[in-house]
C-alpha cells in the first residue's frame, strides 16, 4: 500500500490542490493543526504540533518520522506543500524505489553539502552560530560527506522498514539539535546510519513529475521566538545590558574629552589675547 502526504503547520503556507489525485488510487493525506483547512483533493487530518512554538520543526517531524496514520502503508511519498504532482504517484514510486529504500531528488543548483551550508548562511535561513556548530561537528566526524551531493528534500520517497525508520529518527534528532534545514543533515545521517539514498536527477523547480509553486499564504511572522525576546536567558540579557552600559560610558568619555579639548582651546585663545589687551591699556591717552 502507498500514500502521498504533506503537512501544513502554523499557517506558514497555503495548501495546493493535487489534480492528479482524482485519477489515482493512492490516497493524498495532509496533516495540519488548522481546523478550518479544507481541500478537494487532500484527506485533511487534524494533528497537534510536536513543538507548539516551532511550526517548522513540527512539520519536519511529520515529514521525517511520519504519523501513526501512515503505519499501514509500505511506501510513502512526502511532498512539500508547494509541490504539485504532474503524474500519478504510482509512477514516481515505481521508478524511484526500484532497487532503493530511500529516493530524494538531487539539488539541481547546489553541488555539495558545503554549498548548501554556505547558501543557508548567506540567505539567513537559520541562526549562524547553530550552523557553524553543525558544520564543525560534521567536519570533525565525517569530512568527506561535506563534499557529497546534497539532496533537495521537497520530495522524499521511502520504503518503510526498521533500517529506514532508524535513519529517519536520527535525521530528526539532527534537525532538532542543529539547523531546522533538513537538507543540511540528510547526507550525514543517512550515511552514518547505513541507509543509501538514490539521488533523482530532476530540476527542483519543474520536472516531468512535479511543479514547485510560488509561495502563497506564507506568514510574515517568525516561526520561533527570537533569542533577543522573552526566551533570552537572564545571563545573556545581563551581558547585553553590560555591553550597552560600556558603550554608553565610552560615548560619554568621548564627549567629555571633546568638551575638555574645546575648553583648552578657548583658554589658549584667551591667554594669547590677554597681553594684547594689557598692552593697549598701558598706552598714554592721546589727549594727555
pLDDT digits over 157-214, tens only? Answer: 999 999 999 999 999 999 999 999 999 999 999 999 999 999 999 999 999 999 999 8
Shared domain for 74 and 133, answered yes or no, is yes
Alpha helices in 142-181 (DSSP H): 162-177
Look at phi and psi of residue 11 and say left if phi exceeds 0, alpha if psi is from -120 to 50, else beta. Answer: left
How many structural domains comprise the chain? 2
Examine the fold and report which residue of 161, 182, 212 is the final residue of a domain before the chain moves on. 212
pLDDT-derived band of residue 27, with 50, 70 and 90 as boundaries?
very high
Shared domain for 24 and 146, answered yes or no, is yes
Dist. CA 244–CA 253, nearest whole Å: 14
pLDDT of residue 220: 42
- Give 234 or 144, the one with higher predicted confidence: 144
- Give 280 or 59, the one with higher predicted confidence: 59
For the chain, the average pLDDT equals 86
pLDDT of residue 214: 82
pLDDT of residue 72: 94
The answer to whether residues 230 and 134 touch, using CB atoms and an 8 Å cutoff, is no
pLDDT of residue 243: 54
Task: Work out the average pLDDT over 57-71.
Answer: 96
Domain limits for position 267: 228-281
**CA torsion through residues 266, 268, 271, 275, sign:** negative
Shared domain for 103 and 151, answered yes or no, is yes
Task: Work out the average pLDDT over 25-46.
Answer: 97
pLDDT of residue 223: 40
pLDDT of residue 288: 44
pLDDT digits over 253-276, tens only? Answer: 777 877 888 888 888 888 887 776
The answer to whether residues 2 and 24 touch, using CB atoms and an 8 Å cutoff, is no
Task: Work out the average pLDDT over 81-87.
Answer: 96
Backbone φ and ψ for 51, nearest 5 degrees, come out as -130, 110
Strand-by-strand arrangement of the 28-32 sheet: 43-46, 28-32, 2-8, 75-79, 155-159, 102-105, 197-200
Shared domain for 122 and 60, answered yes or no, is yes
Shared domain for 41 and 91, answered yes or no, is yes
Prediction pTM value = 0.75
- Give 241 or 55, the one with higher predicted confidence: 55
Shared domain for 55 and 28, answered yes or no, is yes
In a domain, 222, yes or no: no
Q: Which three cell numbers stand for residue 252?
A: 560619554
Task: Work out the average pLDDT over 136-146.
Answer: 96
Dist. CA 268–CA 281, nearest whole Å: 21
30: Cβ–Cβ under 8 A, 6 or more apart, which residues? 5, 6, 7, 8, 15, 37, 39, 42, 43, 44, 45
Examine the fold and report which residue of 188, 212, 236 is the final residue of a domain before the chain moves on. 212
pLDDT digits over 211-262, tens only? Answer: 999 876 554 444 433 333 333 444 444 444 555 565 576 677 777 877 888 8
- Give 153 or 237, the one with higher predicted confidence: 153
Task: Work out the average pLDDT over 70-81.
Answer: 96
Shared domain for 118 and 148, answered yes or no, is yes
pLDDT digits over 99-121, tens only? Answer: 999 999 999 999 999 999 999 99
pLDDT of residue 170: 98
Strand partners, 242: none
pLDDT of residue 75: 98
In a domain, 219, yes or no: no
From the list 186, 202, 215, the residue with the least C-alpha distance to 8 is 215
Shared domain for 10 and 71, answered yes or no, is yes
Shared domain for 116 and 245, answered yes or no, is no
Shared domain for 90 and 232, answered yes or no, is no
Shared domain for 199 and 272, answered yes or no, is no
Amino acid at each position: 500500500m502507498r500514500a502521498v502526504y504533506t503537512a501544513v503547520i502554523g499557517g506558514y503556507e497555503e495548501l495546493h490542490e493535487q489534480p492528479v489525485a482524482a485519477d489515482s488510487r493512492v490516497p493524498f493525506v495532509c496533516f495540519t493543526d488548522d481546523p478550518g483547512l479544507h481541500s478537494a483533493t487532500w484527506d485533511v487530518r487534524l494533528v497537534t504540533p510536536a513543538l507548539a512554538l516551532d511550526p517548522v520543526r513540527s512539520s519536519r517531524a511529520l515529514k521525517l518520522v511520519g504519523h501513526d496514520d501512515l503505519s499501514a502503508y509500505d511506501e510513502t511519498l512526502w511532498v512539500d506543500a508547494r509541490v504539485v504532482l504532474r503524474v500519478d504517484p504510482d509512477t514516481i514510486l515505481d521508478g524511484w524505489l526500484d532497487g532503493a529504500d530511500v529516493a530524494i531528488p538531487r539539488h539541481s543548483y547546489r553541488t555539495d553539502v558545503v554549498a548548501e551550508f554556505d547558501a543557508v548562511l548567506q540567505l539567513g535561513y537559520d541562526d549562524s552560530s547553530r550552523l557553524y556548530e553543525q558544520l564543525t561537528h560534521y567536519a570533525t566526524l565525517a569530512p568527506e560527506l561535506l563534499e557529497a551531493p546534497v539532496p533537495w528534500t521537497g520530495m522524499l520517497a521511502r520504503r518503510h522498514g526498521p533500517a529506514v525508520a532508524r535513519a529517519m529518527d536520527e535525521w530528526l534528532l539532527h534537525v532538532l539539535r542543529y539547523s531546522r534545514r533538513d537538507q543540511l543533515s540528510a547526507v550525514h545521517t543517512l550515511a552514518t546510519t547505513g541507509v543509501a539514498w538514490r539521488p533523482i536527477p530532476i530540476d527542483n523547480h519543474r520536472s516531468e513529475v512535479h511543479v514547485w509553486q510560488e509561495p502563497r499564504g506564507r506568514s510574515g511572522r517568525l516561526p520561533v521566538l527570537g533569542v533577543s525576546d522573552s526566551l533570552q536567558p537572564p545571563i545573556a540579557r545581563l551581558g547585553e545590558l553590560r555591553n550597552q552600559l560600556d558603550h554608553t560610558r565610552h560615548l560619554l568619555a568621548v564627549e567629555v574629552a571633546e568638551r575638555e579639548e574645546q575648553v583648552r582651546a578657548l583658554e589658549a585663545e584667551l591667554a594669547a589675547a590677554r597681553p594684547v589687551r594689557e598692552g593697549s591699556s598701558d598706552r598714554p591717552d592721546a589727549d594727555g
